[in-house]
Amino acid sequence: MLALEMYRSLPRHVAGKVVGGRVPGLLSGYAAPLRMVTIDQPAVARPGWARLRTRLSGICGSDLGALSGRTSLYFSGLVSMPLVPGHEVVADLVDDCEDLPEGTRVVIDPVLGCVARGVEPCAWCLAGATNRCDRITVGHIAPGLQTGYCSDTGGGWGQVLTAHRSQLHVVPDAVSDEQAMLIEPLACAVHTALRAQVRRGDRVLVSGAGVVGLFTTLALRSLTEAGQITVVAKHGRQRELARAFGATEVIALDGALRGVRRATGAFHVQPDFGPGYLLGGVDVAIDAVGSKTSLETALHATRAGGRVVLSGMPAAADLSAAWFRELEVVGSYASAGREPGAGDRPAFEVAAALVADDVLAPVDGAVASYPLYRWREALDHAHAAGRLGTVKVAFDPRSSR
Amino acid sequence: MSRPGFVLEVDDRTPPLVVHEGEGFRLETFPLGTRVIYPPESLPAVPDVDQAIQHALRNPEGSDPLPELLFPGMRLTVAFDDLSLPLPPMRSPDIRQRIIEAVLTMAAAAGVDDVELVAANALHRRMTAAELKHIVGERVFRSFFPQGALYNHDAEDRSNLTHVGLTDQGEDVEINRRAAESDLLVYVNVNLVAMDGGHKSVPVGLASYKSLRHHHNSKTMVRSHSFMDHTKSHLHHSAWRMGQLLKEHLNIFQIETTLNNEVFPAPYDFLMKREWEWSIKDQGSMLAARRALSLAPARLRHKMFHDLRAPYGLTGVHAGDTEQVHEKTIAAVHRQQLVEVHGQADVLVMGVPYLCPYNVSSTMNPILATCMGLGYYFNSYRGQPVVRRGGAVILYHPLKPDFNQLHHPSYVDFYEEVLAESTDPAVIEAKHEQNYAADPWYVHLYRTSHAYHGVHPFYMWYWAAHAMDHVNEVIWVGADRRAVQRLGFRAASSLADALEMASDTVGRSPSITYLHNPPHLLADVR
């Protein structure tokens, strides 16, 4: 089968570290540790597992981070190489899988928890918090925090991958492939919105208006009683979508602190060196980018005792505000099988309901798909997605043009 | 003998004319037939200023002489106009210094020892110690400032405000408590233009937002035709009602001064002369100034202008009852500034200079430039506007979106947040004014730093409301295009382009009038 394979390459990794942050598009397009290969299909050796044929698989910010060397080495022990990336997947079952017959269209919850690994369930998996699984490096499959980071399962950037029944969610007929592919990122956004523990009337800042930021805005508006939701957006299309998804106010990055200060009546402090910050600010801030600037914006715009949620994979940043303002810094990774804030329903189920909402209709036209062999173009497009008004760039391994 | 103002019609012999544009000026060739309104030449100054002051204080209008109003044990407050007047700042000694010294000498002679001096800065920025010293003089400053008896009015200090009452139209009158509870309030004014003075002094200069909002709003501003004629200005009508209420509650002794048109010191005095009368020396000065300005870095250019101190001469000083005094003051202002103009024009051209009342030692940001051009200069008329309804206004100013963070913090937000959403004065007033007025950060900066109050940029925008309502087209020449767009206007690179753009509104052969100021002028449009 055809697949895009990520492999270990010290020179490319070093190049990524050195240049990736500055010109990630150039690097991932022409010097990424990624290649198009013909490989064997991943094998199904255990009950509960099945092969799937990919319809669409999205390019996530974490994929781009890994390819351009921006991902922390912390994760190097949680992946197995070489691997086929792609964890935002809509696919058809090639085999019967327990109660699901061959040909069923499904989306994948990419987390590879204890059940999928065939080990005794850890406390988190027992509690339904599969995204916190402590056993992601053991079991009968290679280490890998998710499908798309595990060498045994394959990923959505290949024609075929494997998944466990516990990962599969059936896609209703009324939902298009493009919509279905967005269920995974939307489930992450649902998890983020619930992790934020927003109370009635809370002021919330969403720093970033990529797909994570936009979907988090939608989830906040749909699932919480947030008051003012301020979204930091760079590009025109992002601003429009943020408003459509429920933002009360959309501001530019360079005016983010000023906008929050105005909205909250906070006091502004300008240190002798470095960026300014607020004394006062929003109740909850969500970093939906993971860059230093975005995370510091969230930290600097949150009131004392407020909460900062890390939704994007975080970069190194100045945490002084977290200490001085006694902020609660909360991580939000993937999504849980049981979300206490949503009546113990899986985040995927909540997301599947949201994805059919009319408010998401404009996003349908903002999904761009590429065949595998045009992967360089696809990655370039994904890097510039915000500027180009694209919400999601995806691979369609079935396509040859 | 100074010559009156006059209206020139541009013909073949007319040289290029000076047009101010921020921290610089250009020589512009106007189309044939353009009317150019020149201010009157400077009136002769009062020969003996101290004698004139003594005469005014001892022979007041509608009041007992000042010495008779002073008695031991009384509480005396002297309030005075802040640094927004005059423009440019006056060369030392400032006229307010000489009057305050005279008042304090009389108070001392009468055995008055409870005296405080308050700068009537309303919602303007607090003046620095040096700025206060420039106004009141070294001697008064040394005697009062260290003791805390010379200070800026704080319109946000609830403990030092008194709600005097409501006017017959329900307007709150809330002013400085010390002033309201004094046995005598002496107000020392500089009546640079006809808009100043009268009941615009105490009820405005010493008021709080609660009081000011009744007349500083878009509805009142748009109906003030013009601000320079208090009998036709709704803003002034409101201030007058407040002043009349105050008169029932406290004794006010108003001292008003008028200045001549000596705006520019040498070597910039050529800017006050008519271009065809420039001597060789004037032409040399003009060329040198242009060369220096073109070569100087922005910071030096800023300094060259903002260090100017005007050699103003006093043309009159009147004291006593506010309204009686103001009648005489207005007559003096008219003598110096009034120019008779026949009929309205299709297009009004104005150059916006480097300075307005709110950027002394600071930056003229786009909002202030708009206020200066469409607010103060557009309203420099009596009778009817110089430009016809539905006409066009062409302004010159670079409109660089540079903001002084110390003085104008709320302006930045107003520009980025409010104007990005709407430029309609009524809309922004309804949606945003309260938020800015009550913003605790702006209040903090106003009270403790040197920042204009949070609501101040709104007022600046309201000043321009009448002009925006009156004309169909506002075009800025030589301005930053993005800033012009943000302000809701149009940008042109030259006068010819601006006229071409305006042709949709006023046709291809419009009548054009150029307001040649500064120095200050008031067009009496018949």
Q: How far is Cα B69 from Cα A297, in angstroms, rounded to an integer?
A: 61
By three-state DSSP, how is residue B118 classified? strand
> Residue A91 pairs with which residues in a beta bridge?
A54, A106
Give the number of C-alpha atoms closer than 13 A to the C-alpha of residue B77, restricted to the C-beta side: 22
Q: A18-32, A209-223, B196-210: which range is least confident on average?
A: A18-32
Residues of B within an 8 Å Cβ radius of A: 412-413, 416-417, 435, 438-441, 444
φ and ψ of B8, to 5 deg: -95, 140
Q: Is A30 within 8 Å of chain B by CB?
A: no
pLDDT (0 to 100) of residue A8: 85
Q: Report the gap between the CA of A263 and the closest CA in chain B (Å).
A: 8
Which residue, B132, B152, B131, is CA-closest to B143?
B132
Domain identity same for B279 and B377? yes
Residue type, A52: L
Summarize pLDDT for B342-378 with one digit per residue, the tens: 999 999 999 999 999 999 999 999 999 999 999 999 9
Residue by residue, DSSP assigns A173-219 as TTS-HHHHHTHHHHHHHHHHHHHTTPPTT--EEEE--SHHHHHHHHH
Share of chain B above pLDDT 90, in %: 98
Q: What is the pTM for the complete model shown?
A: 0.82
Scan for tokens 């492939």, then name that residue: A177
pLDDT at site A254: 85
Q: Which of B403, B410, B416, B448 to mutate to test the interface with A (most CBs of A within 10 A)?
A: B416
Residues B27 and B58 in one domain: no
Q: Is residue B518 part of a domain?
A: yes
The mean pLDDT value for B214-219 works out to: 96
Name the strand (E) or helix (H) holding B490.
Answer: strand B490-492
- pLDDT of B230 higher than 90: yes
- Give residue B341's domain range: 6-43+275-309+337-525
B435-446 pLDDT, tens digit per residue, is 999 999 999 999
Q: What does the pLDDT read at residue A361?
A: 82
Cα→Cα distances B43→A204, B5, B56, B333, B355, Å: 62, 11, 20, 10, 23
> What is the reported pLDDT for A253?
86
Over residues A264-279, the pLDDT tens digits come to: 889 999 898 889 999 9
- pLDDT-based confidence at B422, cuts 50/70/90? very high
Instruction: Identify the bridge partners of residue A158 per DSSP, sorted by sequence position.
Output: A3
Asked whether residue B206 is domain-assigned, the answer is: yes
- Stated length of chain A: 401
Q: Which of B92, B94, B147 is nearest to B117 (CA)?
A: B147
- State the CATH number of the domain containing residue B196: 3.40.50.11440
**Domains (range + CATH), chain A:** 2-184+346-395 (3.90.180.10), 197-331 (3.40.50.720)
In terms of domains, do B250 and B356 share one? no
In a domain, B330, yes or no: no
Report which residue type is found at A353: A
Radius of gyration of chain B from its Cα atoms, rounded to whole angstroms: 22
**Contact yes or no for A258 and B416 at CB 8 A:** yes
Judged by average pLDDT, the poorest of A9-13, B28-32, B69-73 is A9-13
pLDDT of A88 above 70:
yes
Peptide bond into A11 cis (omega under 30): no
**CB-based contacts of B136, cutoff 8 Å, min separation 6:** B80, B94, B96, B97, B100, B117, B144, B150
Domain C-terminal end among B192, B225, B259: B259
Looking at the structure, do residues B363 and B458 belong to the same domain, yes or no?
Answer: yes
CATH of the domain at B362: 3.90.226.30
Rounded CA separation A356/A213 (Å):
19
CB A268 to CB B441 under 8 A?
Answer: yes
Q: In the block, which residue shows the tokens 């300008």? A: A270
In a domain, B176, yes or no: yes
B431 sits in which H/E element: helix B425-438
b/e map A208-235, b = 16+ CB within 10 Å: bbbbbbbbbbbbbbbbbebebbbbbbbb
User: Which pLDDT score, from 0 to 100, does residue A22 have?
Assistant: 65
Q: Are residues B153 and B224 in the same domain?
A: yes
CB contact (8 A) between residue B416 and residue A255: yes
Same domain, B131 and B25: no
In chain B, whose CA is at the least distance from the CA of A270?
B405
Contact between B119 and B149 under an 8 Å Cβ cutoff? The reply is no
Q: Which of B230, B259, B288 is the C-terminal boundary of a domain?
A: B259
> Do residues B43 and B3 make contact, with C-beta atoms less than 8 angstroms apart?
no
- Summarize the confidence of residues A308-317 as an average pLDDT: 91
Same domain, yes or no: B482 and B368 = yes
Give the one of A255, A259, A265 whose C-beta lies nearest to B441's C-beta: A265
Order of strands across the sheet with B35-38?
Answer: B6-9, B35-38, B512-515, B345-351, B387-396, B473-477, B490-492
Say yes or no: B450 and B507 in one domain. Answer: yes
Q: 3-state secondary structure string, B32-50? A: CCCEEEECCCCCCCCCCHH
Question: Are B77 and B209 contained in the same domain?
Answer: yes
B210 and B356 co-located in one domain:
no
Residue B424 shares a structural domain with residue B286: yes
Between A26 and A31, residue with greater pLDDT: A31
Report the C-alpha gap between B488 and B245 in whole angstroms: 40
What the block records as the tokens of B453 is 């109050």
Token digits for A107?
């989306």
Please check whether residue B163 lies inside any domain of the structure: yes
Residue A143 is encoded by which pair of tokens?
A: 């280490």
**B464 located within any domain:** yes
Number of domains into which chain B is organized: 2
Instruction: Return the DSSP state at B61.
Output: B
pLDDT digits (tens, 9 = 90+) for B71-128: 999 999 999 999 999 999 999 999 999 999 999 999 999 999 999 999 999 999 999 9
- pLDDT surpassing 80 at residue A20: no
B129 and B162 share one domain? yes
Position B349 in a domain: yes
Assigned domain for B1 exists: no
